[in-house]
Chains A and B, each alone.
Chain A
Amino acid sequence: DTGVSQDPRHKITKRGQNVTFRCDPISEHNRLYWYRQTLGQGPEFLTYFQNEAQLEKSRLLSDRFSAERPKGSFSTLEIQRTEQGDSAMYLCASSLSVAGVNEQFFGPGTRLTVL
């Protein structure tokens, strides 16, 4: 399967713990995006990378959140000191930047539950 993969698919943690999610994009894609989706809502943009550079961050991304894409391939999203409000589905997408709009391909998501 050459699609976008995310690990883990599910994560249950206690409030105050740190969690880290991984996203592996489609191999030739140079752009990678993170979104958060809560129940009954559409995905909300969190951040995006072009290669290893993080170019845009949403105000939703508090200082407890950090994302990296160290070699321009896979990416990690870490949430420190988790809160119950962090419970959501975290989606990763990737695209290949060419002239015009880039179609984003989404992974299956990581569902986070904070107890």
Chain B
Amino acid sequence: AQSVTQPDIHITVSEGASLELRCNYSYGATPYLFWYVQSPGQGLQLLLKYFSGDTLVQGIKGFEAEFKRSQSSFNLRKPSVHWSDAAEYFCAVDHTGGFKTIFGAGTRLFVKA
């Protein structure tokens, strides 16, 4: 069965510092991969997605993610974090064509001044 692991329950970074959130998935083939962000009181917002092709994908709000097949990873990065990036981030995978997305448990990002 598919699974998604986000090893870090929470991360604290200073404003302006770089960020990397880890995500590992378990699935035989290459699934479709997503990163979502959830702010308090808000719905999940898609940051970026990977289906095929270039393994470095660019998303909204200055985020990017790199798919590494050999490591079954899809880590999210941002070169300079802003205070408004404080939120919960979810990695997700899907191999069904979009109707049964499996989410990780999430990583809560705290940004300190």
- Chain A residues engaging chain B, CB cutoff 8 angstroms: 3-4, 31, 33, 40-45, 48, 50, 55-56, 91, 93, 95, 97, 100-109
B residues neighboring A (CB under 8 Å): 4, 9, 32, 36, 41-46, 49, 51, 90, 92, 94, 97-106
A-B contact count (CB 8 A): 65
Complex alpha-carbon distance, A45 and B102, angstroms: 7
Given contacts A31-B98, A95-B98, A102-B98, 20 further A-B contacts (CB under 8 A): A31-B99, A40-B106, A42-B90, A42-B92, A42-B103, A42-B104, A43-B90, A43-B101, A43-B103, A55-B99, A97-B98, A100-B97, A101-B32, A101-B94, A101-B97, A102-B97, A105-B43, A105-B46, A106-B36, A109-B43
Residue of B nearest to A100 (CB): B51
Q: With the chains together, A3 CA to B36 CA distance in Å? A: 16
Docked-complex contact B43 and A107, CB < 8 angstroms: yes
- Distance of A60 from chain B, by nearest CB (Å): 12
Q: Which residues of A contact B103 (CB under 8 A)?
A: 42-44
For B32, the chain A residues whose CB sits under 8 A away are: 101
